[in-house]
């Protein structure tokens, strides 16, 4: 605006001719237009980063979610696609059982227990209230049946029985739950029991629920076998005899949403209606966490809203046409060359709407490597570049051993050359 005033003063003072006056007026109009709020605002809008559009879309999705707390996460990368009051501490109800299931499957993986092991039910476990499968004191069920009771019917009695079977007592098992939560970076979580019964100190957040859900899905995908059971009968065998008991999945998305793969629901009058819903479409896996929902139907609607928005913005790149690798020259070895192989497949999930057809690859290998060469050692890589930024790599490994050549090897090689 100072420029405008200076120009106006200078023009009127120094130029008296009609032509120059008209030129001055034109100049003033131009400066006024340039400095006008509308033009400045338009210029400012043009300079805003593209991600603001993404943030706007995120806010729109958050507004469509009725629950006060929610989070959407892409599983393979752990990228948070949407959050709504996701770090506020809350009562999780039976969503707690995700950690219980994680520790059970880790105990199986570590060889501490087996699916076929028999679990005895204590009086303490049998006395659990809330959702249960009515296990009786001294009744025995296999570990696998207990997993089904927890994953499908959200059974508190089965949770406590498994906690005691693994750790000796529920208290010791809960201590391990909290240790594992800390290892996973669940900084706003504290467990008091293994099944989610309300307690003033039993708290977590939507973000932390997503973290433990991701750990379970990534490292124990067999959980889907249990979480997707809709109905199944178990056999109670007690002193009173044997009888069937029906399990029905508490997660209605298993029937209502075609991409649903799990994971766990929860409800108490204090916690409200909660769910950690997992789904997979076109090899993209998502977790939608809803906490504090007003009713059962709305929590599932909210989860579907999040999952659909996530699938709409995520896309998968898989390198299916890899460059054929030639043998790499070796210096000073008993062999002149070593075969190569890729360390594994490469895939990348975009969560920002990028055009993955623009992906570029850069093969990086030395002209030769010195002996000795150990099979499986990294000798190079393929870098993947999208929009000028490296987004990942695939290591290239030696596919064989090459020992370092000794004096005798050189003599033998020279002798062969002489014969040729």
| φ/ψ (deg, to 5) at 155 | -80, 120
The single residue of 84, 122, 148, 154 carrying the catalytic annotation is 154
Stretch 277-284: mean pLDDT, rounded?
96
Of 97, 122, 131, 278, which residue is the catalytic one?
A: 97
CATH numeric code, 328-407: 2.60.410.10
Q: What is the pTM of this model?
A: 0.78
Reported as a pLDDT band with limits 50, 70 and 90, residue 320 is confident
Q: Give 297's pLDDT tier (boundaries 50, 70, 90).
A: very high
What string of H, E and C letters represents the secondary structure of the chain? CHHHHHHHHHHHHHCCCHHHHHHHHHHHHHHHHHHCHHHHHHHHHHHCCCHHHHHHHHHHHHHHCCCCEEEEEECCCCCEEEEECCCCCECCHHHHHHHHHHHHHHHHHCCCCCCCCEEECCHHHHCCCCCCCCCCCCCEEEHHHHHHHHHHHCCHHHHHHHHHHHHCCHHHHHHHHHHHHHHCCCCCCECCCCCCCCCCCCEECHHHHHHHHHHHHHHCCCHHHHHCCCEEEEEEEECCEEEEEEEECCCCHHHHCCCEEEEEEEEECCCEEEEEEEEEECCEEEEEEEEEECCHHHHHHHHHHHHHHHHHHCEEEECCCCCCCCCEEEECECCCEECEEECCCCEEEECCCCCHHHCEEEEECCCCEECCECCCCEEEEEEEEECCEEEEEEEEEECCCECECCHHHHHHHHHHHHHC
CATH annotation of 58-313? 3.40.710.10
d(CA 122, CA 133): 14
Mean pLDDT taken over the chain = 88
Contact 305, 84 (CB under 8 A): no
Percent pLDDT > 90 in the chain is 76
Q: Is the pLDDT of residue 334 over 80?
A: yes
Output the pLDDT for position 20.
Answer: 45
Q: Is 44 a catalytic residue?
A: no
Given the residues 84, 94, 278, 309, the one annotated as active site: 94
Under the banding of pLDDT at 50, 70 and 90, the label for residue 22 is low
| Residue 94 known to be catalytic | yes
User: For 80-93, what is the mean pLDDT?
Assistant: 97
Render pLDDT for 213-262 as a digit per residue (tens, 0 to 9).
999 999 999 999 999 999 999 999 988 889 999 999 999 999 999 999 99
Give the pLDDT confidence score for residue 14 in this predicted structure: 41
CA dihedral 25, 27, 30, 35 (to 10 degrees): -100
Nearest alpha carbon to residue 330 among 363, 361, 367:
367
pLDDT tens, position by position, 348-377:
989 888 899 999 999 999 999 999 999 999
Q: 122 an active-site residue?
A: no
Q: Above 80 in pLDDT, residue 298?
A: yes
Residue 5 near residue 14, CB atoms below 8 Å: no
35-49, 189-203, 308-322, 345-359: the lowest-pLDDT one = 35-49
Are 77 and 313 in contact by the 8 Å Cβ rule? The answer is no
d(CA 70, CA 73): 10
User: By C-alpha distance, which of 321, 324, 401 is closest to 365?
Assistant: 324
pLDDT tens figures, 378-392: 999 999 999 999 999
């Amino acid at each position: 605006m100072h420029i405008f005033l200076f120009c106006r003063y200078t023009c009127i003072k120094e130029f008296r001719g009609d032509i120059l006056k008209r030129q001055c007026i034109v100049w003033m109009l131009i400066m006024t237009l340039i400095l006008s709020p509308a033009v400045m605002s338009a210029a400012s809008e043009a300079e805003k980063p593209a991600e603001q559009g993404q943030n706007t879309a995120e806010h729109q999705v958050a507004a469509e979610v009725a629950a006060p707390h929610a989070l959407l996460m892409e599983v393979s990368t752990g990228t948070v696609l949407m959050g709504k009051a996701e770090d506020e501490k809350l009562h999780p109800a039976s969503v707690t059982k995700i950690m219980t299931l994680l520790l059970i499957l880790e105990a199986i993986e570590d060889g501490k227990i087996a699916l076929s092991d028999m679990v005895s039910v204590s009086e303490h476990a049998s006395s659990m209230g809330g959702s249960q499968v009515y296990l009786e004191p001294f009744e025995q069920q296999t570990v696998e049946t207990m997993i089904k009771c927890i994953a499908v019917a959200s059974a508190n009695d089965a949770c406590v029985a498994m906690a005691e079977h693994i750790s000796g007592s529920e208290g010791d098992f809960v201590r391990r739950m909290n240790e594992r939560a800390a290892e996973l970076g669940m900084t706003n979580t504290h467990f008091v029991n293994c099944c989610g019964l309300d307690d003033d100190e039993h708290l977590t957040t939507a973000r932390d629920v997503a973290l433990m859900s991701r750990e379970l899905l990534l490292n124990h995908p067999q959980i889907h076998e249990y979480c997707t059971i809709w109905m199944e009968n178990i056999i109670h065998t007690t002193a009173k005899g044997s009888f069937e008991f029906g399990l029905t999945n508490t997660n209605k998305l298993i029937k209502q949403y075609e991409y649903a793969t799990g994971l766990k629901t929860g409800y108490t009058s204090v916690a409200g209606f909660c769910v950690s819903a997992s789904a997979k479409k076109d090899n993209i896996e998502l977790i939608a966490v809803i906490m504090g929902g007003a009713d059962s139907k709305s929590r599932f609607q909210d989860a579907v809203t999040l999952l659909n928005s996530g699938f709409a913005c995520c896309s998968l790149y898989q390198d299916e046409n890899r460059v054929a690798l030639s043998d790499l020259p070796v210096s000073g070895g008993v062999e002149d060359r070593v075969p190569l192989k890729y360390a594994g497949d490469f895939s990348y999930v975009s969560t920002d709407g990028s055009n993955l057809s623009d992906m570029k690859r850069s093969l990086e290998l030395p002209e030769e490597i010195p002996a000795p060469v150990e099979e499986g050692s990294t000798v190079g890589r393929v870098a993947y570049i999208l929009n000028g930024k490296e987004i990942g790599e695939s290591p290239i490994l030696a596919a064989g051993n090459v020992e370092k050549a000794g004096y005798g090897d050189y003599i033998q090689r020279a002798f062969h050359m002489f014969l040729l």
